[in-house]
Amino acid sequence: MPEDIKEKIVYSFKNDYSEGAHLDILNALINTNTSQQNGYGEDCYSEEAVDILKDKINNENIDIHFVAGGTQANLVVISSVLRPYESIIAADTGHISTHETGAIEATGHKISIVESLDGKLLPERIEKLLSEHSSEHMVKPRMVFISNSTELGTVYKKNELEKLSLFCKKNDLILYMDGARLGAALTSDTNDLTLEDISRLVDVFYIGGTKNGALLGEAIVLCNDSLKKNFRYNMKQKGALMAKGRILGIQFSELFRNNLFFSLGKHANFMVSKLGSSIEKLGYDFLNETESNQIFPIFPTEVVEKLTEKYGFYVWQNIDDEMSAVRLVTSWATKEEIVDRFLSDLEKLIEHK
């Protein structure tokens, strides 16, 4: 997928992990560098990060573990919950369904696919799937995977998550939220969820650092007591227990000590909304509504081609012979002047058409 970002390129809107890390985080790494610490996440920085997070989440009854990346988080969590014959339900658009090279199946489990609505899972569609799994000749769906924000940039509303949570409890399903982009979700204009809400409504979730200003790192939050036992064994077995776990603890302390995590998410969303409202004014449509740091505007193909000379982004879908939808992702690191320049370039392209 990725090719070299060429020198001529002014800026890449391909994803939210193109730069390094927020400077506060790098400085924290430097300031703590010489302190000797225990390995494997039993250092005082990781302990501090856990305390800070419990405070922010406002829930003492949770276990928190840090891992390096999102695929790792997903495979460690899911393989630790399911018995061999159990499956995890995910949207057809879900990250684990398509973009993790069979990471979940490699731990022995089927993913039971449900068609999503704008990237979200609906209880009634899960119910239909459950009703079709009636005997030992089929897997037993046991866990539900959702992403927030979703792979299409939408975010779960509180009442949606409550319904899903209630449905899962009724049906003895474990609800898991992949929060790779939780920073953008929780700071979306349309969001009405808090970390505390999430911790009460799902059984397990993770808070993504990599896509919100950290060098690396995701914080797995185990809310359901029955999932907590021996979790570190699973992490170690899957290669997810970092020797210098301190690096993860330091970063999450920094992200949550003073709400850096939220301000970075807000910034990314603001950049995208600026892009979105201006593009809308220019008369263009979108594949779906904008809720977080991804938008999917539909441009004339020749405009797209011109834009690629100076900006990086993915062509998401060919609408017809003349129009293409592209994906623009902003991040904690996207500067407003770049957004302005992009919009100005876009405007010029249209005038010259």
Q: What are phi and psi of 295, to 5 degrees?
A: -130, 155
* Minimum CB distance to its own copies smaller for 210 or for 324: 210
| Residues between 235 and 254 with contacts to its own copies, criterion CB under 8 A | 235-244, 246-247
| Residues between 138 and 177 with contacts to its own copies, criterion CB under 8 A | 138-140
Site size with its own copies, rule: CB under 8 A: 87
| Residues between 14 and 73 with contacts to its own copies, criterion CB under 8 A | 14-15, 17-21, 23, 26, 29-30, 32-40, 42, 44, 68-72
Task: Report d(CA 282, CA 248) in Å as an integer.
Answer: 43
| Residues between 316 and 345 with contacts to its own copies, criterion CB under 8 A | 333
Tokens of 129: 């799937």
Of 57, 75, 168, 202, the residue at the interface with its own copies (CB under 8 A) is: 75
| Residues between 274 and 313 with contacts to its own copies, criterion CB under 8 A | 312
| Residues between 86 and 145 with contacts to its own copies, criterion CB under 8 A | 87, 98-103, 105-111, 113, 134-140
* Nearest distance, CB of residue 67 and its own copies, angstroms: 8
* Minimum CB distance to its own copies smaller for 113 or for 350: 113
Query: Which pairs with CB-CB distance under 8 Å and at least 24 residues apart come from 282-291?
Result: 282/346, 282/347, 282/350, 286/325, 287/316, 287/317, 287/325, 288/118, 288/152, 288/153, 288/154, 289/154, 290/153, 291/149, 291/153, 291/154, 291/155, 291/188, 291/189, 291/190, 291/191
| Residues between 215 and 234 with contacts to its own copies, criterion CB under 8 A | 215-216, 230, 232-234
Angle of helix 336-351 relative to helix 260-281, nearest 10 degrees, comes to 10
* Nearest distance, CB of residue 162 and its own copies, angstroms: 29
Neighbouring residues of 40: CB distance < 8 A, sequence distance ≥ 6? 236, 241, 242, 243, 245
* Nearest distance, CB of residue 55 and its own copies, angstroms: 21
| Residues between 194 and 213 with contacts to its own copies, criterion CB under 8 A | 210-211
Neighbouring residues of 156: CB distance < 8 A, sequence distance ≥ 6? 120, 146, 148, 150, 164, 185, 193
Contact stretch for its own copies (CB under 8 A) within 80-88, 117-125, 150-158, 171-179: 80-88
